Structure 1
Amino acid sequence: MSGSKILASAHYVPSDIVTNDDLAKIMDTNDEWIQAHTGIKTRHMSLQGENTSDLATQAARLALAQTNLTVEEIDLIIVTTFTPDGLAPSTAALVQRNLKATNAWAYDISTACSGFVFGVSTADKFLRSGVYKNALVISAEVNSKMMDFKDRTSTVFFGDGAGAVVMTATQGNGVLSKEEMHTIGNENVVHSGRIAPLTSLSVENYPKTDAFAQEGREVFNEVTTLIPQHIKDFLGDKQLLPQDIDYYIPHQANLRLIEYIAEALNEPMAKFSTNVIRNGNTSSAGIAIGFDELNQTVDLTGKRVLLTGFGAGFTYGSLLLEF
């Protein structure tokens, strides 16, 4: 029986740090309000021209540097993002070019903030097939380029960043012991980058995309209604209870939402990997960054780690990793 394991992880964030006070200079908000409602103190923003593929490439290089693999040994590159460099070529193709990973084929996955969960699950299947040996899964977002900075209710949440893991095929079950994914089609609660179809033929026609927008209260209600019960049911199917999990890495939507999930599971916040306080909501990259920070500081041997993502689409799902 074949499976997959994670060889290495890394993350990368832009050098520019934007504080709540910085945002208060350009919009009607303040540090007290932002921290009270989101728990976020700072976020990194790409203000030096780095695009999503640049952040993804940096995270990938850092992860690869921790292995004995050459870039030519990578067979597959998956980038999860909903802030791509463009519609074509894929952001993953640009990363493949940047890395000179000439033997890898590459493509993007767009499931918004649950992207890393979907990406790791997808790579695992390719590696289990026996056709592919090594894969890069990268979650990268430049949310700042999609923001309407007049929309204070959304913009204050978001930051930019990328996380990556190197995965390899292995004999046995691998680290991914259980998974469950869901999609509920809903384009209204959260959307970004929509391109309207033509309504007439004119030389004035030119593609235009809309900024990121969300219905914050509806997002909160969706997540608090679905996610705690999803986690309980997901673990119950494996005859596990929430207390059987050593570490939780949820989507880094905002600190208050993570606190709600912890309370609903009756689990201490000490078990929850959180980077949203200093990085903001980095969409799909948040779980990838959280996994890397945990992986770099804790010996995960013998541990159970639950990754749970939820995002626009509406998408949500969990992976149980057992090391």
Structure 2
Amino acid sequence: MARVFSERKNEGIRTATSAQSKQHKKQRLSQKDHPSRPQLDLAQSRSLERCNLKIRFRLQKEGKEVVGFSQNISPGGLQVISTIALNAGTPLAVQCSFGEVGYLNVSGQVVYCRPDSDDHHTIGIKFSALRDWEEKILTSAVQELNQSTTTQEKSLLTMLVTEDMMALEAADFYRQTQRPLPERPGIVRHSCIHSSKVIGWGFDLPPTEITNHDINLMINRNGNKGRYGDVVGNLTGIKSRRYAGSRINPSDLAAEASLQALKSAGIDPKDLEVIISCGISRDVEEPSTASIIQERLGAHNAYSFDLANACNGFVSGLDVLDSFIASGRCEIGLVTAGEVISQYINWDPESKEDLRLSSMGYTLGDGGGAAVLSRVKDGEQRGIKSRWFLSDSSYWRVAVVPLINNHSKRFFRSNGAEIERAALQYVPVGVEETMKMLEWDVDDIDLIIPHQVSSHIIENLFYKRLGMPTEKVFWSFPMHGNVGAASMPVALCKALDEGRLKYGDKVLLVGGSGGFGVGVMGLVL
């Protein structure tokens, strides 16, 4: 049974086990029993996967730079000849530019470095912590390079020796630090109810743009490539989306968006009292991603925590922070979301049904959004004016990213038809009830910022069911896709940039999420 809440107001150690030893022994016995079976060592098996391609590279270390050509490359790594020696385990930042095919920034690590004649060294490098989409791009790029000498000539690999940040962080896990607690100013709390207003917005998008053609190349159905990316584009209206590489975390996108929002608001990070991180994706399971964002911002006076509510996380975060401010618990706070949800996409569907349940994942994009809230001044007309929330848990199975899976990957699976059915059932009620509480009609609304989803849902829900004029609905989905909880702040920032919104305008934020959940909020910018 759904419950509705509404309110009108005046977010290399080796491990060896006996089981492994027995398995290795069994394998050795098996090899003796079958002497005719060819055996490949590790180096031979790796060479079969590599293509002998000469690609120009630049290697930079401690202010020195050498240039040369690769010997071979694969989606897993490459081998180069260099006059600079690197120790095994040396971490690298690798920038790959494959002519007109595309570019990619990945992390790498030196596996071996063997001296050759004339002061040269053969260096083996493996790519580390690749996400599925990055591996797909590398595979396509290697295939294209193998077929086109022109593309090889236009390609360049730039490698920079970096610090191993993971090792440094691991060394600090148990190291006690002596840092004085910052002095907190005394703040007068008010017991009466106040409304909050949004005084600053910000967003951030990763640089890598993925088109529907790129999706065609990355989807692997039983070893076959197709045009499924184009099919998804025709059905949903999406043209491109942004993906974050393996070196970008959710907190990176959230922190950058937050800095923009703070700059827009004219607020110093140390003046923040509350930080709510409300994204679907997280840097780590523990601690909260908000803690990482807080450190990045230098907001040492803030109470920070995570709030999770799928794609409705941002509007839920606004509601919670507004309640904090209204109750007198704080004066200024930040709601932020950093999404790296491309990691949940299934690029290798095993069946037609698997492909169907994975199809909405091909509309996902990465990004970050943020908003700074403060207390409304007496007599001020700006602020959050009304909210309406609903949760119907009978739909929770229709859109899921499993936390624990029998497989090694955690993929987003959704039933698009059921999501649309829930949206058509509940969202119009929320919009109509909110407008009734606000005493707004269609002409009063300057712009509607919906959760960014496919054209089919937007058309059926807003244009046909609610009768909204197309110019009243801001739809940035074709260029950015569904950016999870960051969808609405990204879209609102784009509307501000394009002159579709200005401060003082009346706005409806209309959210829909897995669960199924609805969140509608009316505010005056």
So what's the TM-score if we normalise by structure 1? 0.91
Alignment check: 8 A CA contact 1:114 1:308 kept: no
Residues 259-278 of structure 1: pairs in structure 2 closer than 5 A:
259-263=459-463, 264-278=465-479
Please give the per-residue CA displacement for 1:64-101, whole angstroms capped at 9, x wherever unaligned. 12233211101111111111122211111110111121
Aligned length: 314
Higher RCO (Cα < 8 Å, 6 or more apart): 1
Aligned to 2:51: none
Q: Which moved more, 1:293-302 or 1:223-232?
A: 293-302
Alignment check: 8 A CA contact 1:5 1:176 kept: yes
Residues 54-203 of structure 1: pairs in structure 2 closer than 5 A:
54-150=252-348, 151=355, 152-172=358-378, 174-185=382-393, 186-195=395-404
Structure 2 CA distance for aligned equivalents of residues 314 and 87 of structure 1: 24
Alignment check: 8 A CA contact 2:201 2:261 kept: yes
Q: Which moved more, 1:167-176 or 1:272-281?
A: 167-176
SS in 2 for 1:106: strand
1:21 and 2:213 matched: yes
Pick closer, same or farther for the CA change 1:207–1:25 going to 2, 3 Å.
closer
Structure 2 CA distance for aligned equivalents of residues 49 and 111 of structure 1: 26
Q: Which moved more, 1:153-162 or 1:14-23?
A: 153-162
Structure 2 CA distance for aligned equivalents of residues 301 and 147 of structure 1: 37
Alignment check: 8 A CA contact 1:83 1:142 kept: yes
Alignment check: 8 A CA contact 2:210 2:243 kept: yes
Q: CA deviation at 1:290?
A: 1.3
Alignment check: 8 A CA contact 2:422 2:516 kept: no
Pick closer, same or farther for the CA change 1:102–1:161 going to 2, 3 Å.
same
Pick closer, same or farther for the CA change 1:316–1:280 going to 2, 3 Å.
same
So what's the TM-score if we normalise by structure 2? 0.57
Structure 1 CA distance for aligned equivalents of residues 385 and 430 of structure 2: 17
List alignment gaps of at least 5 residues for structure 1: 197-205
Q: CA deviation at 1:163?
A: 0.8
Structure 2 CA distance for aligned equivalents of residues 24 and 100 of structure 1: 42
Q: Which moved more, 1:9-18 or 1:211-220?
A: 211-220
Structure 2 CA distance for aligned equivalents of residues 49 and 160 of structure 1: 13
Q: CA deviation at 1:183?
A: 1.5
Structure 2 CA distance for aligned equivalents of residues 6 and 238 of structure 1: 18
Return the letter of the residue paired with 1:318. V
Structure 1 CA distance for aligned equivalents of residues 504 and 366 of structure 2: 32
Pick closer, same or farther for the CA change 1:207–1:61 going to 2, 3 Å.
farther
Pick closer, same or farther for the CA change 1:98–1:13 going to 2, 3 Å.
same
Q: Which moved more, 1:165-174 or 1:1-10?
A: 165-174
Aligned to 2:159: none
Aligned to 1:200: none
Q: CA deviation at 1:315?
A: 1.4
Alignment check: 8 A CA contact 1:146 1:193 kept: no
Alignment check: 8 A CA contact 1:53 1:95 kept: yes
SS in 1 for 2:195: strand
Please give the per-residue CA displacement for 1:184-203, whole angstroms capped at 9, x wherever unaligned. 2243101113226xxxxxxx
Q: CA deviation at 1:277?
A: 0.6
Please give the per-residue CA displacement for 1:109-153, whole angstroms capped at 9, x wherever unaligned. 111111111111111111122231211111221111122123451
Please give the per-residue CA displacement for 1:230-254, whole angstroms capped at 9, x wherever unaligned. 2123312333333432110010022
Pick closer, same or farther for the CA change 1:245–1:22 going to 2, 3 Å.
same
Q: CA deviation at 1:58?
A: 0.9
Structure 2 CA distance for aligned equivalents of residues 190 and 99 of structure 1: 33
Aligned to 1:3: 195
Alignment check: 8 A CA contact 2:382 2:504 kept: no
Aligned Cα root-mean-square deviation (Å): 2.0
Aligned to 1:257: 457
Alignment check: 8 A CA contact 1:273 1:294 kept: yes
List alignment gaps of at least 5 residues for structure 2: 1-192, 220-225, 349-354
Alignment check: 8 A CA contact 2:434 2:521 kept: no
